[in-house]
Structure 1
Amino acid sequence: MNVQRIIDHLNHLQRCRRRRPINVSRLHYEDLAHAAACVDNASGAWARLIAENEGPLIQAAQPQEGTTQAVVTVRRMFIDLRRSNSDDRRGSLDLRRYGGQTSLSEWLHDRLMGRLAVNAAIRRASAASADLQARDQRLRLAMELLHEERMCVQRLAEALAQSSESIAANACGKSAEPAHVHVE
């Protein structure tokens, strides 16, 4: 990796950011060279990046995600990182945005922590949504039961009214049944 490639990487970053000048005395040049090599798909650059950072990133993710999910999350992050390098979509997970102000491992760690925060927010939102759906289902069931109870009370009231009329008619010597007249 030549020095000009690192300068080109920084110039590109400066144009994208349109921020204050980069303090070159504090840059992590070896990490910048490594990031530029990954951006250029140089032989072995991605394998080295993953080999050096996958283990520590998985360990950092384990407390929040658990072992299996931590592995999945970190590997997805590397897949997304490489994919963002190969297309024109630019986001926070893009090695073209690495400026060398921190070590590359710190930069990756920060991106992972952001991803974990998003995952946690999604889990909370999903749990809240599931809770709302369960409450909605319970409310619907309660409304159905209330409707059935009202219908039952209404039928009982009608039956009671008919029974009362029948009892009153029998007490007065009247038939509750209408008289049938046969016409010939």
Structure 2
Amino acid sequence: MRSADLLADAFDRVSEAVHMAVDGLGEDELAERLDAGANSIAWLVWHLTRIQDDHVADAAGTEQLWTADGWYERFGLRFPPAATGYGHRGKDVAAVQADAELLTGYYDAVHENTLAYVRGLRDTDFDRIVDEAWTPAVTLGVRLVSVIADDLQHAGQAAFVRGALRRR
């Protein structure tokens, strides 16, 4: 098995977790927060998708689907196009309102784009430096694993929120 196949499998697991957290919920449930400082499912899924879109596009040297495919306009958020949710406060979290179709539509587009990119990689590609702002510099392999780890954490948080809301 190639490294690219392992990463594609991991990204597929993220997809399963995202869909399990979102499917069957209405827009109000997706936007609900357990308290004023908590993240909503909508924000968590939007954020993890924005990070994946941002990081994969940067590594691939392509434009993010967020802007290239019109997702920015479809979501209609008041954030600048480059916003990914990093550093967001409660009012920003509350501003992310979307139905399941919009959330999973954007997520699925980014997921398919990610798989197409990852499946085209060779093992030697993973050592390429993609970010010199860190010490040590970040390789492509480390960046992709970091995206997977971040995505799984946020998808797990969304699943937790879903469970808490459904038990109320």
TM, length-normalised to structure 2: 0.27
The structure whose residues are more often helix, as a share, is 1
Greater length-normalized contact order (CA 8 Å, ≥ 6 residues apart): 2
TM, length-normalised to structure 1: 0.25
Q: Which of structures 1 and 2 has the bigger CA Rg?
A: 1
